[in-house]
Structure 1
Amino acid sequence: MGEVWAKLARDADGRVTAILPLVDHILDVGAAMAALLPGWTRPLEAAAGRPLTGQDSARLIALAALHDLGKANRGFQARIDPKANQKIGHTGPVAALLNHSKLRAGEAARAIGAMLDAWGAAEHFAAVMAHHGRPVDAFAFPPDTGVWMKFAGCWMPEHGHDPAADVLPVIAAVCARWPLAWAAGEPLPQAPRFVALFAGLVTLADWLGSDSDRFPIEGPYGTDRIAVREVAAAAAAQARGLVPSATPPGDFKAAFGKAPFAFQAQAAADDLGPVALIEAETGSGKTEAALWRWIELRRRGRVDGLFFALPTRSAAVQLHRRVDAMLKSVWGADAPEAVLAVPGYLQSGDATGQALPDYAVRWDDGEAGGKPDARWAAERANRFLAARVAVGTIDQALLATLPVRHALFRAGMLARSLLVVDEVHASDAYMAGLLDRLLTHHVAVGGHALLLSATLGARARAQLLRQPMMSHDQAVAVPYPALSGRDAVRAVAGAGHEKQVRIETAGEIDDPVAIAERAVAAARAGAAVLVVRNSVGGAAAVAQAVAARAPELAFRVGDVATLHHGRFAPDDRRLLDAAVESAFGKTRGAGGRVLVGTQTLEQSLDIDADLLITDLAPIDVLLQRIGRLHRHVRERGAFAEARTIVLRPAERDLTPLLTRKGGFHGLGGHVYPNLVQLEATLRRIEATPDIVIPRDNRRLVEGALHPDALAEVVRDQGAAWQNHAAMRSGGVSADGQTAAQVALDLSQRFSELDWRDAEKAVTRLGGRDLLIDLDPPLPGPFGKSIHRIRVPHWMAGNATTVEHDGGGDFRLGDRLLRYDQWGLRHR
């Protein structure tokens, strides 16, 4: 039997050209964990409920190092032959080594068992074996003996060789390197959240210690190997932004180029606690307030990283540039690059990457592997949260609390960061439930979070800030703008300007031609018109009608009329986002134009429209959309008065929608199914068509979303509405319960975590969407070839095959799809 190996290098013919001995790889990963621990000491101690001792650290390092000891089994070692029939892994077999009646009496099993007993590390060892991204069934409690019994044979002595004996040199090498771990002492911290956090760190250490550039398979293996590997591990952790670093001195003006508003300065207050909330009108500078809080928390040593979570990809793309500019202002030439945490974009700082075979990435400032360490976290979606600074979508954070692969890694990476959640509102009980579970764990491991909202309804405030539910009158009396912690709320001065808005209603929600004619008429009078619809189909119908009637006024990319929604390929989304910013951003020129889109336009984007036309939606969503209206000071001619036209059904009575599936372009359908909220919203804007932002925000939101206000609507509307309200209440309750059922409860023992509801969990977050590669590529509508596109799971069905002839249509299984200037749709 040759030397026990951990990793191999092969030539093009599959011949082994070099091996990395198991002992060396084990020590590489131990060195990586030693380099990483300083960056996570604060969250580990918060989770443990006590300071970590030097022996605690040594034991965590040793356990992480032993992650691959199962590779000594005969089945895994046989994989050196590329023609090996059976592919045996290395985690489940460890359970067989420790539990099988003929193996557990052996010297290797006894050595491991004694170590785990002395350290109190049975749960921690199960966490180590989960280093590939999820717990191993063989280490679950209660144990399923059938899972590991099948691996027993790969440890049994055969032909004079005992594979279990090959484990002993591995343990001896780790003991020799970190002898303090084996000295007598108190057990490791037993808190389940501590164990879960450790599990995520082991995955990071394994990835770091498996980097063949830093730890080459070819060696060296000489006597200086310990020094070489520890220097390499420290350098890699430093280059990837995985060790604490100081924030350069500087004030708010140095970071953002202007003096702060009062609430922006106060957002950095030290007494807000671990979860804070900023409520202020759209466009008031909440983003800068959030970034300033992060900078100040870094200076105080409370956090290191930042994850800025937004509701849409478009919002993340736009904010990414702003955050990266801020980093350059604060750090100068040594600034960390902000990672764009949106799958498919490959953006780090100013650099754009191109995916290559075998998971390699070429960055636009060099060949494949350019700045590999600094941009490591940007190259795969499951690494995003390991970036020191990342801007992405909320689903990337919520995946840290769902039973999906690498959830514990995501949660562990997030633990060192300030989590900022932008555009929080109350429309989705499922998402609110997941966010609540995420915040619970994040705070328990010492994390900090900041929630941003134009106005958060009382129910959502109570849930997320863990406060008592207020009555309607109490909720309306809460100050606005406001800065809140879990213990108190304080009034703060806002941006210092108010916006008067006239709201009209029109019964045209089911008439795209009438909507287009309204928009075109206003554009011909010089207005920049924004049309926001509740569904892609409704938006496309209006955009096509605008292009047919006034092509010169239609929003376009280059010479191609189009619209903005989420069903475009990543490369085209970049073009669309840039075109939106050019045509409707702060520096837009004069002249009429019409931009049509969906919810991708309503949140976080810096859009400045003269006139807003929008489908009816819950009041908190409407206020987000109204925030795109008259966002900046400019000359507006005939549109000096801010006007919003809210589209409703032709008949004012919404009762027919109670029994109509799908409603009108999402109205009453799956987008905003709570008709009681829509009726309450319609009543509020009809009763007070002239509003002042931000003065009226709190009154409007509570008047249309507070349970007391909704109950009043139901009482007025009769039995059919009472039935609908009961069904919706049950649905909201069910959504909240579903979130509680599928979300990971990391207060449970690691070996008891339930990983069975993964499919249900990820479907709600688009996790089952199909990302397909196109070869040959599709001809993109805006001049770029489309090599990759995401197909929503409901559109893809169970398809796995793609066929196309290079035209704009392609077949996905038995479904024919088209991708053109109006986005992806069924043909």
Structure 2
Amino acid sequence: MQFDLHEIWAKTDPYQSILTHSMLSGIVAQVIVRHMIAPGTLHRLSGALSCSTEKAINWIGYLVSLHDIGKIEGQFQYRWPAMREKMDQQGLKPDFPDPEPIRHEKTTCRCLRERIWREVPNRSMAKFYANLLEAHHQGKSGKEGERQNQFWNTLQEELEYQMRIQFLHSETVWLPDLDKKDRGSAGALLLGIVILSDWIASSDYFAQAETWFCQPDAQEHAVHLAKTFLTVSGLESQPAEWEQEFHQVWPSISREGLRGLQAETEMLFKQAQERISVVLLEAPMGEGKTEAGVYAALQMARQWGKYGFYVGLPTAATSNQMVGRMCTFLQMHHASEPVRLLHSMAWLSDEGQPSFCPDFDTEEERYAWRWLLPARRGLLGTYAVGTVDQAMMSVLLVKYGVLRLFGLAEKALIIDELHSYDVYMSEILHRLLEWCKVLEIPVVLLSATLPPEKKTQMLSAYTAESIPSSYPAVTAITESGKVLVRTIHHTEKQQTVSVTLCPILHQAEQIAAYAKELVQDGGCLCILLNTVQQAQETFQALKSIGFDGELLLFHARFPAEQRDQIEQRCIRLFGKEKSMRPQSAILVATQVVEQSLDVDFDLMMTAIAPIDLVLQRLGRMFRHQDTPRPPHITVPNLYVLVPDPSEPFGADGFVYPTCLLQQSIHLLEQYRSIHIPEDLPVLVTRGYDPQAAPPEELGSWMEHLIEDQVKAAASGNYLIHEPGKGYSPIKESEKIQFDDLESSSYLSAKTRLGEPTVRIVLLPPERFEYFCKKGEKHGGRTVLSVVSKEEAREILKSSVSVRAKLLHPGNPDVLFGRRLLEGVQIYPAVIDKDGNMQYTQINGVEIIVNKELGVTFKDGDVSESIV
């Protein structure tokens, strides 16, 4: 009565024995380490393991090869009918088949920890590595298999012995000792390798491995296939040698043309005595921070032996523009790897996306397929641009979030617009920076205006030293924790902005009339409002009074394709290229133009906001030196819309804390002229200082500070541990709370503390009926899952994100998207005579997709603040 290891199944369709799958997984792991991991990451990992690089590669192959050893167990093997028949014939039927699912990874953990590695000197390390392998399937429920059956135990020991000989080339087991400070970083890297190796070894590339793995050249063939997989998937590391001179990295900028920020950034690296872990670039708008940030990231990547970068921005709109700039930059240097765009809608523009989403036999296949899509593998590839949420999710309790850390560990991380993230997001970012430090991920932080408290908070992840106050400046922290500050004594933008307070906030007709008057003799004006509804009302008011110049409305509640078209039109009209700049124009917008969009206006009218955001907004005025201005507009003028003293802040007070809005008004009453750059740090510091507020407003400040503490504490519910406590999913695999799907509004709410949103689509009746016929009943609702790539594009281009609470849960005739349409709700629309689409919910609230205004809600809660 016996089984050969070739007869013990690991995969069944097609068949792959436990021996073949274990060998393949270990070989794939070694290929990943040799050809995907950057030299600096491998050096960090082998250093933590206290061994040479080659010995580390051998040991990693051994560790990964044992991840499925728990499948050699009676109750697990009995699942497959073919094996069940053989076991019945040999009298191996389990005595007590348990109704609770058997989780083979739990059996793996106990098998290695208590029996196979029982002789290793350091028992805590046996537990650590066993727990790590247990986490390669995350968030699963079930129990371990039977542990006392000598027949299966013998086979487990036989497999381990063969893997020991194969990969360690030794009769003796060796488990590397890890210092406590290294357990978090090494655990995250090793777990990432285990998961990827398992997925790749289970891919179609190795589907027929059982038929050829007995051949003499099988191992060489497996290496070849694994390398091919990495190359075809865009996961192979892409070494690049970057010059140290700024003008060589950015050939369009001459040595003599370097701006102060750029020159000081270059000198920082030329004079640095040790490697730099983090750089913070603070300077007014228009000082070339992006170019300096990319230069710094590439220099730090060279120092730390990394390849590539990830640029994280506040919104999808800013990501869309940045990816074009980075593509042009890499093409200029003839880089072989493209830049990936990474956010929830990015795949619409990614031609490498598969044309369909297949059916999956297992949940694991679904995750593997999703992670190796072009849109997702941006974090695993060499160069990518996307929303900062993609990086933030690496430190949330997200299923397979470790792969995000693993991908970031290969490159430099650039976080733009640091000032735009609230207290809740800042807590998540701080945890991310703690992990970046131990994983030796070089980080560049960019900000125009940063409150001192936030600056100290972010940099405290790297040093206990005090951070000097200096602005504009380049602040860096070395690997030993030393703080370096280079003050910028000359800025490109030295100007005085005139400020006028206008007590007409919430009065669309008066705003429109004033705006029309401002540009009656020409000029390009931006009216920036805090809510979509205010922007829509102001746009309608301008139309009603007959403004005859170029008039645009731009906010985030337009269908995706239309929003992209409006964004591109804004860039053409108000961007660096001046040939299409109109003589007279008004853009009515929300915060979508506040961050990273390179547009330039002659005049700015903005709703009151926290002072740092007001300063950020004025940076979109008089931005380019070569912009032709009307003769009567010679200096920048900022018109700040404030409420009448007798009126409340209304919806604006729901978007931003009222104490910060009131503080901005106090400051702007004192500073009727803002001198750039010297006034910026003073204004930002005072704008967030309760002691600078009048005594009667201290109560409001106290409420705000308490709310901030609550928000900061709330983020801790979803964070992995700090690195010093190890990589938390190793011990908390069953506490992982989220699917790693960008379409999950619940997950999005955990990177940005706010109300959950849902992506909806209104379709004409005939198209809705067409897709209804493709739907199927599932869990009491109609689900649409089988669509082509072209059909998915059609639907998603018409989609828009709205607050979930505005959608009635009992709406009939709703299609719920799955797979390519994950998280989308599709509604049938009635089309009116003007071509607008409308759907009436069962509570009487109408959802309207207006061709000019975007999405509106009628007879319901219209106090929207989504931007």
TM-score bracket for this pair, using the shorter chain length: 0.7 to 0.9
The one-letter amino acid of 1:566's match is A
Question: Could you tell me which residue of structure 1 aligns to residue 623 of structure 2?
Answer: 631
Q: CA deviation at 1:793?
A: 4.0
Equivalent in the alignment of 1:416: 410
Aligned pair 1:512/2:523, yes or no?
A: no
Deviation at 1:414, TM superposition (A): 1.1
Give matches, 1:451-530, under 5 Å. Answer: 451-466=445-460, 475=469, 478-485=470-477, 487-530=483-526
What is residue 817 of structure 1 aligned with on the other side? 847
Q: Quick check: 1:509–1:664 contact (8 Å CA) kept in 2?
A: no
Residue 672 of structure 1 corresponds to which residue in structure 2? 656
CA shift for structure 1 position 292? 1.1
* Counterpart code for 1:805: P
Question: Which residue of structure 2 aligns with residue 341 of structure 1?
Answer: 342
Report the equivalent of 1:329: 332
Structure 1 residue 92, shift from structure 2 partner = 2.6
Question: Aligned pair in 2 of structure 1 residues 436, 208: CA closer, same or farther (>3 Å)?
Answer: same
Distance in structure 2 (CA, Å) of the matches to 1:445 and 1:816 = 50
1:579 is aligned to 2:584: no
Query: Do the aligned partners of 2:527 and 2:606 also contact (CA within 8 Å) in 1?
Result: yes
Counterpart of 2:486 in 1: which secondary structure? strand
User: TM-score scaled by structure 2?
Assistant: 0.77
Aligned with 1:199: secondary structure? helix
CA distance in structure 2 between the partners assigned to 1:89 and 1:442 by the alignment: 39
Q: How big is each residue's C-alpha offset from its partner over 1:42-71, in whole Å with a ceiling of 9 and x where there is no partner?
A: 346547656443444323222222223344
Counterpart residue number, 2:134: 129
Shift of 1:97: 6.6
Q: Deviations over 1:172-207 (max 9, x none)?
A: 442342034763546342533121332223223233
Asked whether the equivalents of residues 279 and 455 of structure 1 are also in contact (C-alpha less than 8 Å), the reply is: yes
Letter in 1 for 2:204: S
- Partner residue in 2 for 1:712: 692
- In the other structure, the counterpart of 1:183 is 172
Verify: 1:435 aligned to 2:429, yes or no: yes
* Aligned counterpart in structure 2 of residue 733 of structure 1, from 703, 709, 716: 709
User: Structure 2 matches for 1:297-308, cutoff 5 A?
Assistant: 297-308=300-311
C-alpha distance in 2 between matches for 1:93 and 1:525: 75
Which residue identity does 2:749 align to in structure 1?
T
Counterpart pick for 1:379 among 374, 382, 391:
374
Q: What residue is the counterpart of 1:110 in the other structure? A: 115
Aligned to 1:804: 827
Aligned equivalents of 2:841, 2:358: Cα separation in 1: 25
Q: Check conservation: 2:602, 2:636, Cα contact below 8 A.
A: yes
**What corresponds to 1:619 in structure 2?**
611
Q: Post-superposition shift, 1:345? A: 1.6
Aligned counterparts of 2:519 and 2:210: Cα–Cα separation in 1: 67
Query: For 1:702, which of 685, 692, 698 is the aligned residue?
Result: 685
State the SS of the aligned residue for 2:498: strand
Q: Give SS of 1:528's match.
A: strand
Conservation of the 8 A alpha-carbon contact between 1:318 and 1:577: no
Residues 1:610 and 2:602 are matched in the alignment: yes
Aligned partners of 1:261 and 1:493 also within 8 Å: no
Q: Is the 8 A contact 2:20 2:209 kept in 1?
A: no
Q: Deviations over 1:420-459 (max 9, x none)?
A: 1111117611111111111011101211111101121111
| Contact 1:306-1:418 at 8 Å conserved across structures | yes
The residue matched to 1:605 in structure 2 has which SS?
coil
> 1:285: which partner in 2?
288
In the other structure, the counterpart of 1:448 is 442
Where do residues 756-767 of structure 1 align in structure 2 (5 Å cutoff)?
756=735, 758=737, 762-765=748-751
Match of residue 229, structure 2, among 228, 233, 236: 236
Q: Provide closer, same or farther for how the CA distance between residues 788 and 226 of structure 1 changes in structure 2, counting only shifts above 3 A.
A: farther
* Deviation of 1:285 (Å): 0.7
- Kept in 1, the 8 Å contact 2:449–2:681? The answer is yes
Q: Which residue of 2 aligns with 1:600?
A: 592
Partner Cα separation in structure 2 for residue 51 and residue 793 of structure 1: 51
Q: After superposition, where does 1:225-264 map in structure 2 within 5 Å?
A: 225-238=218-231, 240-243=234-237, 245-247=239-241, 249=243, 251-256=245-250, 257-259=252-254, 260-264=258-262
Partner of 2:653: helix, strand, or coil? coil
Shift of the 30–489 alpha-carbon distance from structure 1 to 2, 3 Å rule, reads same
> Equivalent residue of 1:178, what SS?
helix
Letter in 1 for 2:725: Q
1:312/1:88 Cα in 2 relative to 1: closer, same or farther (>3 Å)?
Answer: farther
Task: Rate the CA distance shift 1:352–1:202 in 2: closer, same or farther, 3 A.
Answer: closer
1:422 and 1:87 map into 2 onto residues whose CA distance is 52
In the alignment, the residues of structure 2 paired with residue 754 and residue 3 of structure 1 have an alpha-carbon distance, to the nearest angstrom, of 30
Letter in 1 for 2:423: A
Distance 1:30 1:572, change over 3 A: farther
What does 1:642-791 correspond to in 2, within 5 Å?
642-651=636-645, 657=648, 663-665=649-651, 667-669=652-654, 671-673=655-657, 675-705=658-688, 707=689, 710-715=690-695, 718=696, 721-745=697-721, 746-749=723-726, 750=728, 751-753=730-732, 756=735, 758=737, 762-765=748-751, 769-771=757-759, 786=797, 789-791=800-802
Q: Distance in 2 between matches of 1:494 and 1:36?
A: 47
Q: Partner letter of residue 823 of structure 1?
A: G
The residue matched to 2:25 in structure 1 has which SS? helix
Unaligned runs of 5+ in 1: 10-17, 138-146, 361-371, 557-562, 658-662
- The 1-side partners of 2:163 and 2:838 are apart by 58
Partner secondary structure for residue 609 of structure 2:
coil
Q: How does 1:350-429 map to 2 (within 5 A)?
A: 351=351, 353=353, 356-358=356-358, 379-381=374-376, 383-425=377-419, 428-429=422-423
Q: Would you say the 8 A contact 1:339–1:347 is kept in 2? A: no
After superposing the two structures, state which structure 1 stretch, 209-218 or 186-195, moved more: 209-218
Moved more, 620-629 or 201-210: 201-210
Look up the match of 2:780.
none
Q: How far apart in 2 are the matches of 1:329 and 1:212?
A: 36
| Residue equivalent to 1:12 | none
User: Larger deviation: 233-242 or 684-693?
Assistant: 233-242
Shift in alpha-carbon separation, 1:494–1:43, aligned structure 2, 3 A = farther
In structure 2, the CA distance between the partners of 1:777 and 1:769, relative to structure 1 (3 Å rule), is farther
Question: What is the Cα deviation at residue 325 of structure 1?
Answer: 0.8
Q: How many residues align?
A: 749
Q: Cα 1:595–1:229, aligned 2, differ >3 Å: closer, same or farther? A: same
What is aligned with 1:532? 528
- Deviations along 1:101-154, one digit per CA (max 9) or x if unpaired, are xxx6xx99733655796792322222223224x3666xxxxxxxxx52xx536x
The one-letter amino acid of 1:128's match is L
The alpha-carbon deviation at position 610 of structure 1 amounts to 1.4
Distance 1:772 1:226 in 2: 50
The residue number in structure 1 matching 2:776 is none
**Alpha carbons 1:306, 1:389 under 8 Å: kept:** yes
Q: Which amino acid aligns with 2:663?
A: A
Shift of 1:632: 1.0
Percent identical: 21
Q: What is the SS of the residue equivalent to 2:725?
A: coil
Letter in 2 for 1:183: T
CA distance 1:185–1:111, change in 2 (3 Å): closer
User: How far did residue 520 of structure 1 move?
Assistant: 3.3
SS in 2 for 1:411: helix
Q: Deviations over 1:61-112 (max 9, x none)?
A: 2222222334445565566569x9x99999833424765xxxx6xx997336
Deviation larger for 571-580 or 321-330: 571-580
Residue of structure 1 in register with 2:862 after alignment = none
